[in-house]
Structure formats: C-alpha cells, structure tokens
Amino acid sequence: MENFPHYFTLPKSRAIHQIYILILIALTISSCQKDIVDSPIPPSILEIEAPQNLSSIPTGSTIILKAKTNSPDNLRYEWKVNNVWLSNNMPQISLTTSKKGEYNIKLYVSNSAGTDSISLKYYSIETPKEGCSKWISQITEFRPAPGQYTNKSPGNPASSQTIVGKKGMVSLGGYGGYIVFNFDHTVINGNGDDFVVHGNAFKGNSEAGIVAVAFDANGNGRPDPEEWYDLAGSAHSAPGTNRNYTITYFKPSQTETSEDIQWSDNTGAEGLLKATNFHKQCYYPLFLAEGVPDKLEYSGTLLPPTAVQNPSTGNWVVGDLEWGYADNYSEKYPLVVNDDPDTRNSNKFDISNAVDKNGKSISLPAIDFVKVYTAVNQQAGWLGETSAEVCGAISLRAQ
C-alpha cells in the first residue's frame, strides 16, 4: 500500500466558523482602535482672560471674558451671571455692569467626556460724582430701644433728622437700639480710615455703640439682613463679649408716664431698664412703624459692661474702650482727619475691620449703609441706662 503523508484537516463547516471568528476579532480590534482615536478628552478650563477676580469695576463698565481650554473643538459653553443662564454657546461674553452690586459669574465647559467649571466675582461700584456731600444724606431707619430719652429729644424721630447734612444728636436708647443711614455715594474701602462717626463722649463717659456696615450686593437699594457686618473694635474678642446676643423688651403696663421696662435675653438673664427721676415720659418707643408692639427684640454683639461706681463718692465712671466704637472716647477721638476740622471729636472707622458673626474677617470692596447700635446692656445708677448717641457722620471718600 502506497504511503501518503498524513495531514490534519478541519471539516469544512468548522473551518468556515474559524474564519468568521478571525474576521470578528479583526473588526473588534479595528473598532476599538477607532474609538480610542475618536474619544474626546474631558475639557479643562486653563484660564479666563478677564479682569482679576474680586475686582471692583465702575458701574456702567463693560468687561469681556474669554475662556481658554485644553481642547477648543466640539465644546459646549454655558455662562451663568447672578444665577441667570445666558443663551451663549461661545467661549467669550461681553458683560455690562448696568447696576451696582455683586456680579457672580460661572462658566461651564462640557463635552461627552465630562464638564469643567470656573467661578468669578466682580463688584460694580458707583464712584463718587462731583459735588457729593461728605455728610449723611438720608436716615434709612431709626429704631431706638427703650431709654430715658426715647419719645423725646434727643430720642425721637425729629432728633434723628438733625444728623442729616450736618452735626446734630440722636440717642439710641438701651442695648440694641439703632440708627441706619447712608451717604449720597458708595463709600469705597480705601487705605486707612474710610468714614467717621461723631459722638458726645469725653474721657470717663463713653457709651459705646457698635458700627455695622452693608454693601448693597444685590443692588436693590436697601440693606438686606445678610449684608450686615460689624466693624470689629478692641473689645470684640474680649472675655464676656457675646457675638450672638438677643434681648427682648416688654411693653409696660401703661405708656403715659415713665415706668421700669422689663427685659430678658437669650442667655436666660432678665432685669429692668429702670426709670430715673429726671425723665418722666414713657421709655418704650411709641412711634415705630408697627405701632406699639407687646415686645421688641434687638440682636447683635454684646460688649462687657464698662460702668463702675466709686464706692467712696458714689459717682459712676463709664469706661472708655481702646478703639473701634462710636460715642467712645479714645486717643484718636479728638484728632482731625484729612485736615478737615469737621472730623474732630469723632470715632474713625476702617471698612477692612468688617467681621461676620463668628468674628471671621470679611472683605468688602465698599459700603452703602451704616448702622450704629448701643453695644452694652447696663445701668449706671442715677445716670440710667447706657445709651449711645450719634451726632453725625462724615465720609472720607466723598471725592
């Protein structure tokens, strides 16, 4: 029998099956390679060509913002200004600051592989115009606490108007009583002191008032509660200072004549704001917009008591604080600022000292409103309650 070589062969159907598998593998490899080539990389915003973040820009200015990315092709751009989406699928926008306040800008850049974003903030500020006054322009709100001068001069609404455009005097009553005012221009946060507040203090007779400030961030023309920040002074971190204090005064049994005013606070303390022999009118404010409510609440930072009685003479001394408060005598109190004699006998304030309720420093580009409120809850014998007085204010940024 003839010897033929023996070869290993596949049945026809099995050979065709193997060919299909090889073709499928080749197609899969080719497809994966194509996907790798065609798959986009996630976008990354490299920079924004724009003014420096947190810059102050004059109201009415136009700014141009342009995004640079790692891959400019096939990207979607979405811009958001003060929580309003702009229908602009472009890497560049032109923005006009039509009103004063904050402009919060966010850019989202996306493709099928992912999204990147960046946030910017600008402050639109109305710069002082020629002819601006350095004096208070308007009383926004006057809400005194109960006190021995409340409902008569210098603790009534007419008294609050005496500090507009000049020096005058208004009393704020006991703890928390306040006045809010503004100038006819935004006060820019410059180098050093930015404004002064006049008082009637003298050495050994200070009735400290805390000064708070507000920048009209949303441009609505009024100070909103979340916009207020205290300007920290020398006692803001002192033992006994309470940054979250609330006092409640209760309406007296009658409002015709003077009567002790009951109060309680959020620390569990309670007491009396006592009527003195010198002032016979009702101490509870009778001219508020809501009428004469059964109780009044005031909140803010409470400073430790400063009044001390001399046990030998019985005289009271209401102590002075080092710096940072209205109606408070200090070394700088009698000094003149910017060679302006009208700034004599005033407390000087720097917007850069703004702090939040936790004492954390807050950066404000400028302010639109000023609040002064009585900072201590104390009785000084026959002197009565400690009540801050405001005798005027001057902006140092009027020009």
Distance CA 79, CA 64 (A): 13
3-state percent helix, strand, coil for the chain, nearest multiple of 5: 10, 35, 50
Mean pLDDT, residues 37-53? 85
pLDDT at 88: 83
Distance CA 337, CA 196 (A): 9
- Ramachandran quadrant class, 351 (left: phi over 0; alpha: psi -120 to 50; beta: rest): alpha
How distant, in Å, are the alpha carbons of 16, 29, 35, 70, 379 from that of 22?
10, 11, 20, 39, 98
pLDDT at 34: 45
Q: State what percent of residues in the chain have pLDDT above 90.
A: 82
Nearest to 366 by CA among 392, 326, 323, 397: 397
DSSP for residue 182: E
Q: Which residues contact 376 (CB under 8 A, 6 or more apart)?
A: 175, 207, 208, 302, 303, 304, 305, 306, 386
Q: Which residues of 356-385 are buried (b: 16+ CB within 10 A; e: fewer)?
A: eeeeeeeebbbbbbbbbbbbbbbbbeebbb
Q: What is the mean pLDDT of the chain?
A: 90
pLDDT at 93: 94
Q: Could you state, in order of their start, the residue ranges of all structural domains in the chain?
A: 45-125, 138-395
pLDDT at 314: 83
Beta carbons of 387 and 200 less than 8 angstroms apart: no
pLDDT at 18: 55
pLDDT at 127: 85
Q: Which residues of 92-114 are buried (b: 16+ CB within 10 A; e: fewer)?
A: ebebebeebbebebbbbbebeee
Each residue's pLDDT tens digit, 209-249: 999 999 999 999 999 999 999 999 999 999 999 999 999 99
Beta strands 138-143; 101-111: pairing state: unpaired
pLDDT(101) > 90: yes
Structural element, H or E, at residue 71? none
Amino acid letter, 368: D
Mean pLDDT, residues 137-143? 98
pLDDT at 222: 94
Mean pLDDT, residues 384-397? 97
Strand order in the sheet with 76-81: 55-58, 114-125, 101-111, 76-81, 84-86
pLDDT at 124: 94
Distance CA 334, CA 272 (A): 35
Q: State what percent of residues in the chain have pLDDT above 70.
A: 90
Distance CA 211, CA 371 (A): 6
Each residue's pLDDT tens digit, 292-331: 999 999 999 999 999 998 888 888 889 999 999 999 999 9
How distant, in Å, are the alpha carbons of 72, 155, 208 from that of 161?
60, 11, 21
pLDDT at 12: 43
The CATH architecture to which 45-125 belongs is Sandwich (2.60)
State pTM to two decimals.
0.86
Strand-pair partners of 261: 273
Read off the tokens for 262: 């009951």
Distance CA 320, CA 208 (A): 8
Each residue's pLDDT tens digit, 150-178: 999 999 999 999 999 999 999 999 999 99
